[in-house]
A and B are shown apart, each in its own frame.
Chain A
Amino acid sequence: MKLTKLSALVATTAMCAPMAMAQDMANEMTIVSWGGSYSASQKNAYHDPYTAKTGVKIINDESSAEAVAKIRAMNEAGNVTWDVVDVVASDAMRLCDEGLAEEIDHDAVLAAAPDGTSASEDFGNLIVSECFVPQIVYSTTFGYRTDLVGDTAPTSVCDIFDLEAYPGKRSLQKRPIDNMEWALYCDGVAKEDIYDVLGTAEGVAQGLAKLDTIKDQVVWWTAGAETPQLLADGEVVMGSTFNGRLFSAIAEQNQPIGMLWDMQSFDLDGWIIPAGLSPERKARALDYLNFATDTQRLADQAKYISYGPARASSAPLVGKHAELGIEMAPHMPTDPANATNVHTYDYEWWADNRDDLDAKFQAWLAK
């Protein structure tokens, strides 16, 4: 009796398996992103309306952090399972250089602005690569505990290096990008000379020496969620992270955290289409991009997260937060009040020097 049941079960499994395999490629696409509230904002602003319009089911994969390595592996294995991938601009440039991402004719594929401005003009100089469709402008900036900084809240990025006025731990991202620039800036290097100085061995030594002054007070983070957690715990007095994370900690979770926008480091995030898709899948991916990056859609995303839409024509459409009903414009990194002193991060320079500085930075960390 037991035996027959068991064999029946095994037989059904064996029969079901090929069916499960066959239905995979039906009417669905896999979109890769960063997860968390960011993926949620994309789901609300792009995925759900697209599914409602076309009936295409969208599977969200939260693998953007290892996108470059995975796309390489997929390409090598000849089995590309992703349709559209959300990556930062520097990753898009790398993938494009290696031929792992499709080149896109922006004006042919993307929608024009409502007033007829062409897509390439609307995105302007944010199109940093032939393969890249910009989506948002975000920044890496600082948050501080309002109750732990005393009477005078920090106003300058150099307060990070001021252990006397603001004693306590601070959290910084475990990578040289941004940290080296901030260190040199606070060591008296003029903003426009930062990359010239950083290009020399002495400049690197100078930056690391500045970071050395706070090294034993630094908690190094790798995931964007860590600084908000550390601030909420009161483990750190101030820390860097992506501005959207700080916004949700402040506005949605009512944490006693203040924003320090000085010398915020702008970066771009957007879409690429991996190379090697079948013609039907590529056409569907392009159709999705056309839909998801039009003026209204990009402005809609800003209802859910405080990242600036990449189209110039979307900016006036940015409205109120979908649940909290607060105006989103003042929380955007691109808002004039927040952008009085910004640091523009040089992709080209970092693309050329990243490996070298990473090695030096890691060696310094281990010391």
Chain B
Amino acid sequence: MALTPVENQTPGFVAAVAAASGAFFGLFVGTSQGSGLMGIVIGAALLAVLGFVFTSMTDKEKPIRWALLAVFIVIGFVLAGLPAAVVGGLFGWFAGWFIFWLATSRYRSRLAPYLTSGQVLWHFTFRVICGAIFVFLITPILVVMPLSFNSQDFFTFTPEMLRFDPEGYSLKHYRDFFSNQDWQNALWNSVRIAPMATLLSVSFGTLAAIGLSQPHVPFRRAIMAILISPMIVPLIISAAGMYFFYSRLGLQGTYFGVVLAHAVLGIPFVIITVTATLVGFDRSLTRAAANMGADPVTTFFRIQMPLILPGVISGGLFAFITSFDEVVVVLFVGSAGQKTLPWQMFIGLREQISPTILAVATILVAISIALLATLELLRRRSERLRGMSPS
């Protein structure tokens, strides 16, 4: 889809832009080898030369790109073995693509013809910034995953791991998670506490949201503010308060106490999401149901609930994750018998930096992804069934 007729670029332009990207990647490679400045210079010079030379050979794009890829893989392999070959390959692929993308002006052809060169530059800078933010957000999670297969007991990429030597990898931290009684108890506690806390939050939160959406309820704003307060008050303050309160009631250190505390933390999420969906809810529907003889409970489950269900489910999801992730309140309200997964991870990090934590983290990330993906698929399916297109 070419919007703008383009011509091939001059070698000088291609060389300059390619040099800039070369300097960028050179910075990373150089820093890892001890000298960032050398990396910038070498990277820039290399791509400048390649860009300058290949600009006049745009008709032989395919073979040149394959050759570049092969050459970089070989250079990487010769310099530092398998890992460097992978990095080299990526770099070679990028260099080939980038130079010809510039040289044949493909970057310009898809943009509107009236854009100034400044706007074109911003168009791509914006994308680079977005990509950088994305990398910044996702890298810490991605780094954890390979480290969880470490065969050593430290958070360290060993030389064996970097060489892709099978010796450097092992499943022992996963084995530890599944066979260690402490971790299994913690998992079991989390699995017992989170769904129950979610159930309580969802029931109370939904009812509160529906009640507070009735115009005739007095002091609506004040009640709302109080119910939402666990989300606003610093967690450590709620936790200390709950500790003393629950101790006197005999709830401290019990399963039910932790469930209640987590339900309190989850309720604000449910109230907020359900209140938001209720804004679009047409009250005449409940009146119509009443008119046809349905009592309020039937009306709620048959008419109102299906319509506000998305809000209830996303509120419930937040409440579940709050309980599943929570460490401060459970440290106060729970006792060692209610040790949850986050608690176990917390003390694990403090007392022994064990990669079992990384294995657990990887498992939890996988479960979260699976959970969210399932939810999204279900949502799309229900929208399709209702004849709406997924937006």
Contacts and interface: CB of A to CB of B under 8 A. Distances in A.
B336 interface: yes
A226 B240 CA distance: 29
Contacts of A32: 336
Interface stretch (A75-83, A113-121, A278-286): A75-83
Interface stretch (A13-21, A180-188, A297-305, A331-339): A13-21
A253 B353 CA distance: 13
A109 interface: no
A1 to B, nearest CB: 11
B335 A81 contact: yes
B252 to A, nearest CB: 6
Which of B247, B301, B350, B352 has most A Cβ within 10 Å?
B352
Interface in B311-364: 335-337, 339, 347-354
Contacts of B203: 10
Contacts of A34: 351
Nearest to A31: B336
Interface stretch (B67-75, B78-86, B152-160, B164-172): B152-160
B254 A62 contact: no
Contacts of A13: 196, 199
A36 B351 contact: yes
Contacts of A3: 301
Interface stretch (A160-168, A228-236, A306-314): A228-236
Which of B182, B203, B351, B354 has most A Cβ within 10 Å?
B351
A24 interface: yes
Given A35-B351, A36-B351, A225-B353, A81 B253 contact: yes
A37 interface: yes
Contacts of B335: 30, 59, 61, 81
Interface string B245-284: 0011011111110010000000000000000000000000
A65 interface: yes
B331 to A, nearest CB: 8
B351 A229 contact: no
A60 interface: yes
B250 A36 contact: no
B243 interface: yes
Contacts, number: 98
A224 interface: yes
Interface residues of A, number: 40
Given A13-B199, A30-B336, A35-B352, A78 B247 contact: yes
Nearest to B335: A81
A324 interface: no
A20 B254 contact: yes
Contacts of B240: 73
Contacts of B352: 35-37, 225
Interface string A37-75: 110000000000000000000011111010000000110
A253 B339 CA distance: 28
Nearest to B252: A79
B313 to A, nearest CB: 14
A9 B244 contact: no
Contacts of A233: 154-156
A248 to B, nearest CB: 9
A223 interface: yes
Given A10-B199, A81-B253, A35 B353 contact: no
Contacts of A20: 254-256
Contact of A253 (B152, B196, B248, B337): B152
Nearest to A65: B350
A228 B154 contact: yes
B321 to A, nearest CB: 20
B353 A77 contact: no
A257 to B, nearest CB: 11
A280 B189 CA distance: 28
Given A21-B254, A21-B256, A232-B152, A79 B247 contact: yes
Interface of A: 2-3, 9-10, 13, 17-18, 20-21, 24, 30, 32, 34-38, 59-63, 65, 73-74, 76-79, 81, 223-226, 228-229, 232-233, 253, 255
Given A253-B152, A253-B154, 17 more contacts: A9-B199, A20-B256, A21-B255, A30-B335, A32-B336, A35-B351, A60-B336, A61-B335, A73-B240, A74-B247, A79-B250, A81-B253, A81-B335, A228-B154, A229-B353, A232-B156, A255-B154
17 contacts: A3-B301, A13-B199, A17-B255, A60-B182, A60-B336, A62-B347, A62-B351, A73-B240, A73-B244, A223-B351, A224-B351, A229-B154, A232-B154, A233-B154, A233-B156, A253-B153, A255-B154
